[in-house]
Structure 1
């Protein structure tokens, strides 16, 4: 899945940094959508094979988590709603 805002995509760099960038969808802009057994959503970057997260302390968005922590202390679990 690709995440788009207007004409820009959520893009993951080799270091796990996340930006919004224009251009076509590709590996740096693709995520594997995974639902946890408890119904949350986790997104694994196809560029880094790491999970997207919001750092609980700095609020930075990164794709550097090896996997969601059971207590959600790493900010890698999301709630999806339409």
Structure 2
């Protein structure tokens, strides 16, 4: 099981670093590159640089609130 945990940890670390590198290049470096450069075809439009993280944050916050609400309801039923 330890090997599987290490593999999952390595995969999650690699995925996180890849997303961080892509997003950093997209938001910080790409605006300084000419608009007709070939590298622009590998990235989404700049509007999505704000839209994607905000919508992901709202979704996570909604799921977290639903989870906390369900836990509170279940704990209230156990007391009664």
Name the TM-score class by shorter chain: under 0.3
Higher strand share: 1
Q: Choose 1 or 2 for highest CA Rg.
A: 2
Higher helix share: 2
